[in-house]
Structure 1
Amino acid sequence: MKVGVYLGDYQPTEGGAFTFQDEAVTALARLAGESAHEFVLIGRGAAGLEKLAGPKVAVMAVGRAPFWEAATMRLARSFSGLRRGKWLRSHLERTARAAGVQFLWFTTPRAVDIDLPYLAIVYDLQHRLQPWFPEVNEYGAWFSRESPYSRILPRAARIITGTQAGQKEIELFYGVPENRMRRLPHPTPRFALDAKPSDRAVLAKYNLPERFLFYPAQFWAHKNHANLLLGLARLREAHGVELPLVMVGADYGNRDYVESMARELNLPVAFPGFVSQEELVALYQHAYALAYMTLFGPENLPPLEAMALGCPVVASRVDGADEQLGDAALLVDPLSPEAIAAGIWRLHSEAGLREDLIARGKKRAARWTVDDFVRGVFGILDEFEPYRRTWR
């Protein structure tokens, strides 16, 4: 098959989504010779993608359709009788078909309504499970998440999800049968697996202590910074242990609240802001532990990054965490400050536990890489190809 690989905007500002896409398409370009299929990388812009072109990988830029065209198409395609007009196909689909694309792989959950068979991916459905958080509820956020999923998932040829927990959520909310879903765990980022030891310059730059807990997360409410702070206050009260905390990440409206709580609790917390990947690696490598207390699942990248970089992990026991992290992390109830304190205290007081978690974490992080993920996609394409060859 000729397979289109849709990347959307493909910009570093997309954060973790960009990291995944960038590593996936780089691996695809390197491994394409192992597959019987041809590939076309399709992005809003081709900048940065040209270097990946090769004998079995082409690159194509697809611009945005004019607003009036996109709006008209979206409205008209809501009525089944009008979908028969080829002119109502999206700009992406028309461009892809013109290039001979027979199947589309969406590398982002922000899929486009098309009639070509396609492979979708789901990171999380937390807007369905926990719709009260501002970032998935306010200003139309719930509808902007729900609308593409409700249109795309029921019609997908195959859907990638990383865990059994994620698969059950897709079945529950969108009625997709199990035989159309494939479990491919989120791969450990290559930058973490390949990182060299770093010096302590980042500690001096941000005036950080030698020993600290680390929490890299954007400042959204669901990242649960508040209960982590309460847990550290409880640790101090119950055991007389005060561990400094370093919180990095971009502010999406909740940082002022978190900073004010840290001041009220009189906790030693540093807020370096958004840091580069190089600095992120150094912070992982020099941290006493990762304290990752998100309320969203079923998969999260930072625990895998930390494990690859030799940083022990205390993480939230959210649905899917057991599948993703196994026995390589201490899992705690993220809504209980007492449980958070107990987990960190155990790491602090139990002889050999920290070293044991580091060793287990490195093994866990190395067991599933981006190459494994891409080869898993090759398998999905091979499996679907006999269906696709039944029409032109």
Structure 2
Amino acid sequence: MIKILADSNLSHDFFIFCHNPDPAIIEIIDKYPNFHHPKPPNLLYVRAETFFHTFLNKLYKRVKIKKRFYREDMYDWLVKNLNIDIIHSPYQVNIKKDGVKSITTLHDVQELHFPEFFTSAQRAQRAVNYKKSIDEADAVIVSYNHVKKDIIKYFNKHEEKVHTILLDMQKLWFEKIENIDLVKLNEKYELPTNFILYPASSWEHKNHLKLIEALKYLNAPEIQLICTGNLTDHFHNDILPVIEKNNLSNQVRFLGIVSDEELLKLYKTCRAVIVPTLYEAGSFPLMESILLNVPVICSNVTSLPETIEDDRFTFDPQDVEDMAQKINLIWSDDQYRELNLSRIKIQAEKLRFNNAGLKINKVYETLSKV
């Protein structure tokens, strides 16, 4: 987001508050005169003293002592010394200070749709923190309309205060890889010549079990599936036993976490990518497939239909027969594959050039006038 704002040549001064900026942020600060990295004095001391005073205030309240401590925190220092007008938090925390407008970002509220995928502690933490951030924020930025609808529905946030802005998909990880010709995938993994790729950690909502069920339904051993990503307890406890029980070990392979170079070559050599997830705030496998011009089919839920914008290439992730039909088409129907490639070429341009910087600036300008 910082890079997008910098490249948009906006007139505002930006103060990037982070403890140890990475080289990319330092490069931006060095290159653009309106981007700065403020350093409050004695930061560790300020944080320690604030924590101590908070502890004393709670103690005094418990023993019914009226005295209270107030200590300016690091954000008070930034606001006062740098004349901050807007605090923009690009994650699910909102910083609220008197006289300053605030923006927060919310990526998803998956716990409201699939509470079984979260512990009670995780649900409680999200419920409290998300509500506080949304209620206090003068503006909420999301990437997709399905998240906006959830915020309006479940948190009663006014529609005009929730803004859908997908960041431009430029300068991504695979654009930094210069050569994958030397990557010896076949020697390392003994891959089939043709395969469908699903790059995703094996969390429950990624829906590997339904995907395996769809392959079983097709009863077509030539359709090979390669999965990459972190192997969670769900893989060992649930997915692997299903593969073994149905004698699919020669058809379904899980490689675990692979290197960026290996993943890029898997994208480049697969027959197609499939994304059967039950919930996705924003699917990087889908967007990466589109940007890399790789045929892709996906679920018809959350952000995925917004991303591909063509229901010919989506399926109900709970409907095994529907998923199996789309798998068979993307595998064997050349005309269907060509239609798919034509669609993702259009979508790739939309992902690369979304004018996110100007859209964010419009939010800034609106808040400045209030």
TM-score range, shorter chain: 0.7 to 0.9
Cross-structure match for 2:149: 168
Note closer, same or farther for the CA distance 1:373–1:276 as it changes in structure 2 (3 Å cut): farther
C-alpha displacement of 1:292: 0.6
Note closer, same or farther for the CA distance 1:88–1:124 as it changes in structure 2 (3 Å cut): farther
C-alpha displacement of 1:177: 0.5
Whether contact under 8 Å (1:162, 1:185) holds in the other structure is: yes
Q: Distance between the aligned counterparts of 1:110 and 1:282, measured in 2?
A: 37
Cross-structure match for 1:3: none
Cross-structure match for 1:56: 34
1:104-119 → structure 2 map (5 Å cutoff): 104-112=87-95, 114-115=97-98, 116-119=100-103
Cross-structure match for 2:306: 323
Q: Which runs of 5+ in 2 are unaligned?
A: 62-67
Note closer, same or farther for the CA distance 1:150–1:325 as it changes in structure 2 (3 Å cut): same
Whether contact under 8 Å (1:214, 1:287) holds in the other structure is: yes
Note closer, same or farther for the CA distance 1:197–1:212 as it changes in structure 2 (3 Å cut): farther
Cross-structure match for 1:154: 135
1:368-387 → structure 2 map (5 Å cutoff): 368-369=351-352, 372-387=355-370
Does 2:222 correspond to 1:242?
A: yes
| Cα displacement string for residues 262-309 of structure 1 (whole angstroms, at most 9, x for unaligned residues) | 222222222222223333222212111111111113532221111111
- Helix, strand or coil: the match of 1:254? helix
Note closer, same or farther for the CA distance 1:213–1:60 as it changes in structure 2 (3 Å cut): farther
C-alpha displacement of 1:224: 1.0
Please tell me the residue identity of whatever aligns with 2:6: A
- Helix, strand or coil: the match of 1:261? helix
Cross-structure match for 2:51: 69
Please tell me the residue identity of whatever aligns with 1:43: C
Whether contact under 8 Å (2:197, 2:273) holds in the other structure is: yes
- Helix, strand or coil: the match of 1:52? helix
- Helix, strand or coil: the match of 1:273? coil
TM-score with structure 1 length normalisation?
Answer: 0.79
Note closer, same or farther for the CA distance 1:36–1:70 as it changes in structure 2 (3 Å cut): farther
Whether contact under 8 Å (1:90, 1:113) holds in the other structure is: no
1:16-55 → structure 2 map (5 Å cutoff): 24-31=1-8, 34-48=9-23, 49-53=25-29, 54-55=32-33
Note closer, same or farther for the CA distance 1:279–1:328 as it changes in structure 2 (3 Å cut): farther
Note closer, same or farther for the CA distance 1:156–1:347 as it changes in structure 2 (3 Å cut): same
Cross-structure match for 1:342: 325
Q: Which runs of 5+ in 1 are unaligned?
A: 1-23, 80-84, 388-392
Q: Distance between the aligned counterparts of 1:141 and 1:379, measured in 2?
A: 34
Please tell me the residue identity of whatever aligns with 2:233: G
Whether contact under 8 Å (1:127, 1:142) holds in the other structure is: yes
C-alpha displacement of 1:91: 3.8
Cross-structure match for 1:354: 337
C-alpha displacement of 1:151: 0.4
Q: Distance between the aligned counterparts of 1:167 and 1:27, measured in 2?
A: 22
**Sequence identity of aligned pairs in percent?**
21
TM-score with structure 2 length normalisation?
Answer: 0.83
Whether contact under 8 Å (1:27, 1:370) holds in the other structure is: no
Does 2:116 correspond to 1:132?
A: yes
Note closer, same or farther for the CA distance 1:295–1:364 as it changes in structure 2 (3 Å cut): same
C-alpha displacement of 1:200: 7.2
C-alpha displacement of 1:225: 1.0
